[in-house]
Amino acid sequence: MAGPLAVNVKPESFDIPGFGKIYVSGALTGLFLAEDTKFPGDRSDLADVSNAQVFVQKVDGEFQFFIQAGAYSLPALGSPYLTAGNATTDLYGPMPQAFVKFAPTASFSIEAGKLPTLIGAEYTFTYENMNIERGLLWNQETAVSQGVQANYTAGPVAFNVAWTDGYYSQRFNWLSGAATWTINPANALELVVSGNLGTTDYSKSLATPIYQNNNQQLDNLIYTYTSGAWVIQPYLQYTDLASNGAIGVGKDTTTWGAAVLVNYAVPNTNYNISGRVEYITTSGSNTDGSANLLYGAGSNAWSGTLTATYQSGPLFTRAEVSLVQASNTTSGFAFGTNGTDTSQFRFAVEAGILF
C-alpha cells in the first residue's frame, strides 16, 4: 500500500490449532470513469466494479501464505479501459496473486507462486496507490508474474531477486533484482534491474505485450521522501528492446521515463491530496524498424494527475482528474476512435470499503 488509503488494521482472524492465525480481509470498490477522446470499444462514461476481492493470509511463523481472489479492473492512463469482467478473465484470472512463503529467519525468506512485481513505484490494484489510475510508466512495467523470489535484509538494505515469467507469459526467462537502502526514517533509495534473458516469441494474453515482454532491460531508480504530512517519490525508468527478427523488431528500441508522485495528508482531517506528473519518450521512427512502444515508434507523452481522497475507518471515496498529452504520434495508434487525437482528459471517482 503506497497510501493514502489504509487497510483495516484489525482484520477478521481465526486460529487453526498447530498451524497459526489466519487473517481474512478484502476490498469492495466501485468506479465511475469519463473521458473525452475514447478509444475504439470504450464508452465516453461508465460505471464498473474496480475491486471485489478477498485476501486470506498467514503472516508469521516459518510457513506463510497469501491468497487474493475476486474481480478487479486495472485502469491506467492513456490506455483503453477493460471492465472488471474482461480484466479478470483476460489478465490474471480470478486469483490474481497467490503465493507460499518460507521464512526460516527474520532476515531471509523465499516465496513462490503468482507474485507482485518488483518493478516500478506503483502497484497493480487501485486501492494500493496514491491515484486511482496508474500512470504511463506503469504501462511499460510488469504487474503480476509467476515464479520464485528470494528476500534478504542486511541492516538498512533489503535485497530481492526473482526468477519469473515476466509479463505472465508462462515462459520462465525473466530475472529481476531490487536493492532498497533505507537511509533513515525519512529517506529511501531503491534500484531495480530486470530483463528477459531469452526470447518469448508469442503473446499469451492481454497480460503479455510481446514487445515489452522481450525487453532486455527494464530498470528503475526510485527515491522516497516521507516526513510529516508529505510523501514525495520521484523515479526514473529505462527500457531496452533489442532488435529481434522473431518478434518483428528491426532496430533496438528504448524508452526513457521520469515521474514524480506526491501525497499530502491535510492536517487534522481525513483528507489527502495526491498528484503525479510524468514524461516518457521512445526512440526510433516508423521507417527504421523500431518497435511501437507507445503511440507509434518515436512518440512521447506526458501526463498530469490530481486525486483527492477521503477515508473514514474502512470507508473511502476519492475523485480524480487527469490529462495525457502525446506528440510525434502515428495515425491510428493515438487517442480517439480513429487513433488520431493527441490528448485525453479523464475524470474518475472511486468509492468503497477496505474491510
CATH of the domain at 249: 2.40.160.10
Does 239 fall in a domain?
Answer: yes
Q: What is the mean pLDDT of the chain?
A: 97
pLDDT for 101: 98
Of 281, 200, 273, 188, which is closest to residue 226 (Cα–Cα)?
A: 188
Domain range holding 66?
A: 20-354
pLDDT for 21: 94
Does 297 fall in a domain?
Answer: yes
Which residues pair with residue 150 across a beta bridge?
110, 161
Does 309 fall in a domain?
Answer: yes
Alpha-carbon distance of 305 to 262, in angstroms, equals: 10
pLDDT for 10: 86
Of 197, 131, 192, which is closest to residue 169 (Cα–Cα)?
A: 197
pLDDT for 329: 98
pTM value is 0.95
Does 164 fall in a domain?
Answer: yes
C-alpha angle 88-92-95 in degrees, rounded to nearest 5: 80
Domain count across the chain: 1
Does 7 fall in a domain?
Answer: no
Does 13 fall in a domain?
Answer: no
User: Residues in the chain with pLDDT < 50?
Assistant: none
pLDDT for 91: 97
Does 11 fall in a domain?
Answer: no
The number of C-alpha atoms within 13 Å of 111 and in the hemisphere containing its C-beta is 25
Alpha-carbon distance of 71 to 74, in angstroms, equals: 10
Does 281 fall in a domain?
Answer: yes
